[in-house]
Structure 1
Amino acid sequence: MRVKRQKRHRRAVRFYTACYGFREPFKILCDGTFVHHLLANCITPADTALAKWLGAEVKLFTTRCVIAELRSLGDSYSDSLHAARNLITARCDHEKRESAVACLTDVIGETNPEHFFVASQDAELRKMFQEIPGVPLIYALRNALFLDRPSATQHKFVKTSEEARSHMTDVEYKMLKLQKKRLATYGARDSSYVNENNEDHILEKDFKTNVKRKEIAMKDKAQFKRKRAKGPNPLSCRKKKNKENSAPDKDSTSVDNATRNKSRKRKRSRKSKSTTEAIV
Structure 2
Amino acid sequence: MKVKKQKRHRRAVRFYTACFGFREPFKVLCDGTFVHHLLVNKIVPADTAIANILGAQVKLFTTRCVLEELRSLGKSYTDSYNAAQILSTARCDHEQRKSAVNCLTEVIGEKNDEHFYVATQDAELRRKFHEFLNLTHPRISWPQIPGVPLIYALRNSLFMEKPSTMQHQFAKVFEEGRSHMTEQEYKLLKMKKAATAEGESISSDANVISEDDRVNSIAKRRGLEVKDTVQFKKKKAKGPNPLSCLPKKMHAKKDNASEKGSSSADKTSGTRSKKKKRSRKKKCVAAPTS
TM range (shorter): 0.5 to 0.7
The answer to whether the aligner puts 1:154 opposite 2:142 as a matched pair is no
Higher helix share: 1
Q: Supply the distance in 1 between the matched residues of 2:28 and 2:52 (Cα, whole angstroms).
A: 14
1:70-97 superposed Cα distances (whole Å, 9 cap, x missing partner): 1111111100000010000001121111
Normalised to the residue count of structure 1, the TM-score between the two structures is: 0.64
Structure 1: 5+ residue stretches without partners: 188-280
Q: Supply the distance in 1 between the matched residues of 2:199 and 2:6 (Cα, whole angstroms).
A: 63
Q: Supply the distance in 2 between the matched residues of 1:173 and 1:69 (Cα, whole angstroms).
A: 53
Q: Supply the distance in 2 between the matched residues of 1:146 and 1:77 (Cα, whole angstroms).
A: 23
Q: Supply the distance in 2 between the matched residues of 1:87 and 1:93 (Cα, whole angstroms).
A: 17
1:174 maps to 187
Q: Supply the distance in 2 between the matched residues of 1:185 and 1:52 (Cα, whole angstroms).
A: 63
Q: Supply the distance in 2 between the matched residues of 1:4 and 1:41 (Cα, whole angstroms).
A: 23
Shift of 1:185: 4.2
What is the identity percentage for the equivalent residue pairs of Structure 1 and Structure 2? Answer: 71
2:176 maps to 163
1:62 maps to 62
Q: Supply the distance in 2 between the matched residues of 1:66 and 1:124 (Cα, whole angstroms).
A: 15
1:158-195 superposed Cα distances (whole Å, 9 cap, x missing partner): 101211122111111122222233334445xxxxxxxx
Written as runs of structure 1 = structure 2, the 5 A alignment for 1:57-96 is 57-96=57-96
2:22 maps to 22
1:191-236 superposed Cα distances (whole Å, 9 cap, x missing partner): xxxxxxxxxxxxxxxxxxxxxxxxxxxxxxxxxxxxxxxxxxxxxx
The answer to whether the aligner puts 1:137 opposite 2:150 as a matched pair is yes
Normalised to the residue count of structure 2, the TM-score between the two structures is: 0.62
**Alignment check: 8 A CA contact 2:53 2:159 kept:** no
1:42 maps to 42
For the pair shown, which has the larger CA radius of gyration, 1 or 2? 1
RMSD: 1.6
Q: Supply the distance in 2 between the matched residues of 1:181 and 1:95 (Cα, whole angstroms).
A: 59
Q: Supply the distance in 2 between the matched residues of 1:139 and 1:49 (Cα, whole angstroms).
A: 12
Secondary structure of the residue aligned to 1:39 is helix
Structure 2: 5+ residue stretches without partners: 131-142, 201-290
Q: How many residues of Structure 1 are paired with residues of Structure 2 in the alignment?
A: 188
Please tell me the residue identity of whatever aligns with 2:99: S
1:113 maps to 113
1:137-177 superposed Cα distances (whole Å, 9 cap, x missing partner): 00000001000010223112210121112211111112222
Please tell me the residue identity of whatever aligns with 2:160: L
Q: Supply the distance in 2 between the matched residues of 1:54 and 1:162 (Cα, whole angstroms).
A: 24
